[in-house]
Structure 1
């Protein structure tokens, strides 16, 4: 297992670099960037559920089979599942675009990543690293947990506001307004980047760092592309609104 873990870490870091570069040239073909030419597709709701499922499944398996269960690790699994149970079983069936086509090849690439990520974080956090009760009083856990919860709240709030907006304007895109949308175009991406940065600090682990870097590498270029899309499609788009970092970028 240690060999699989090590290769998973290497691949996640490698994929982060590759994805970060590629996404500045080729937008992932789903959502507002959906387009033909990517082979067969399935409905978005099934794609999301299938590609996200390995993360909660593997983390749960590694947690249940671990001999190192401590209170910090109970908190880790609850934090992970808080995100991924929603992302796997609720979000796919509540989003407005759940019936839209989603390229199978993109879903399969996400499955591969989530298998690697679930293995790396599951084995690392629950079998390789050790966290005793005193870890709850460490600066890493306290600051990381606060950052994780903050990012989680931002991500879920943004998702819910976008869901309601799309329910009120089915079949068309409009300019999101209010809350963090007055400052950045993609609060949901901003929140998720913060969330997994918090996970990396809270667990103080190499797989946590790998996941946080991949999240940034994946979502930062997409946020930039989304911001440009809004500006090109809406001449009246707020000129002071940034892409993903309030007041900065």
Structure 2
């Protein structure tokens, strides 16, 4: 398959624009899933585990399909970064849904997640397999080494923070609690901080417009959610640590 350069640029710029729009909208009101679901609406609800699986799995299956049908002329460096992308979405679609105790999802939110993950999965895979051309010395390049280190640090923070959240409530409990431990000692959105760091590292390691667009969209979408979570904890719990920040330790 030839590199569809105009499509890659168009999808990347569209993702950046979508990130800006989401950021502006989400600063005023939070996305209506999880603790922010309005139970009085007539929205069709999907069990959280099923919703997480269905909305995240396209970002895993799409790249794997492109890997299978690609003629094999792409370099191992490009494949390496795509496999790391798939590793994240294997955890998010196949492991995390089995552990989450989240509330049911509105069908519309799940559907929008399916659309985004489908488009983004295609964009990242197509770019890495058919457009990206890294030189032989790329594995020793500062961009790649620094980016890969940042990526795995962020992934570790994200997975560890998810582990804390998944074990926060005992079986049968539905009330919210203040998360503690790990980076939650410093920020309310430790899981979001980890994911943002992870995709920033991915963008640095691959050094491309599509990966930057994805990292930018991630910041714009889950950054405001961390802010709303922080406000939720401060308003609900009188003993909430006032030194804790919303997303960036010691800063914001």
Fold agreement, TM-score > 0.5: yes
The match for 1:70 among 65, 75, 83 is 75
**Partner in structure 1 of residue 241 of structure 2:** 238
Structure 1 gap ranges (5+): none
**Partner in structure 2 of residue 61 of structure 1:** 65
Q: Classify the secondary structure of the residue corresponding to 1:108.
A: helix
**Partner in structure 1 of residue 216 of structure 2:** 213
Decide whether aligned partners of structure 1 residues 96 and 127 sit closer, same or farther in structure 2, where only a CA change above 3 A counts: same
The match for 1:43 among 44, 47, 69 is 47
Q: What's the TM-score once normalised by structure 1's chain length? A: 0.94
C-alpha separation in 1, matches of 2:124 and 2:176: 36
**Partner in structure 2 of residue 152 of structure 1:** 155
Q: What's the TM-score once normalised by structure 2's chain length? A: 0.93
**Partner in structure 2 of residue 117 of structure 1:** 120
Counterpart contact for 1:12–1:113, Cα < 8 Å: no
C-alpha separation in 1, matches of 2:227 and 2:111: 24
Q: Classify the secondary structure of the residue corresponding to 1:174.
A: coil
Q: CA deviation at 1:3?
A: 4.2
C-alpha separation in 1, matches of 2:137 and 2:178: 47
**Partner in structure 1 of residue 204 of structure 2:** 201
The match for 1:18 among 12, 16, 21 is 21
Decide whether aligned partners of structure 1 residues 39 and 69 sit closer, same or farther in structure 2, where only a CA change above 3 A counts: same
Matched, 1:30 2:29: no
Counterpart contact for 1:148–1:194, Cα < 8 Å: yes
Q: Classify the secondary structure of the residue corresponding to 2:101.
A: coil
Q: CA deviation at 1:158?
A: 0.3
Query: Cα deviation per residue 1:202-226 (whole Å; 9 max; x = unaligned)?
Result: 1111100000000000111000000
C-alpha separation in 1, matches of 2:57 and 2:16: 21
C-alpha separation in 2, matches of 1:77 and 1:66: 16
Counterpart contact for 2:51–2:110, Cα < 8 Å: yes
**Which region of structure 1 is more displaced relative to structure 2, 164-173 or 56-65?**
164-173
Matched, 1:135 2:138: yes
C-alpha separation in 1, matches of 2:110 and 2:171: 28
C-alpha separation in 2, matches of 1:78 and 1:9: 20
C-alpha separation in 2, matches of 1:39 and 1:3: 37
Matched, 1:91 2:96: yes
Counterpart contact for 2:9–2:210, Cα < 8 Å: no
Decide whether aligned partners of structure 1 residues 55 and 38 sit closer, same or farther in structure 2, where only a CA change above 3 A counts: farther
Counterpart contact for 1:152–1:195, Cα < 8 Å: yes
C-alpha separation in 1, matches of 2:242 and 2:157: 23
Query: Cα deviation per residue 1:181-236 (whole Å; 9 max; x = unaligned)?
Result: 11111110000000000010111111000000000001110000000000000011
Structure 2 gap ranges (5+): none
Counterpart contact for 1:55–1:84, Cα < 8 Å: yes
**Partner in structure 2 of residue 81 of structure 1:** 86
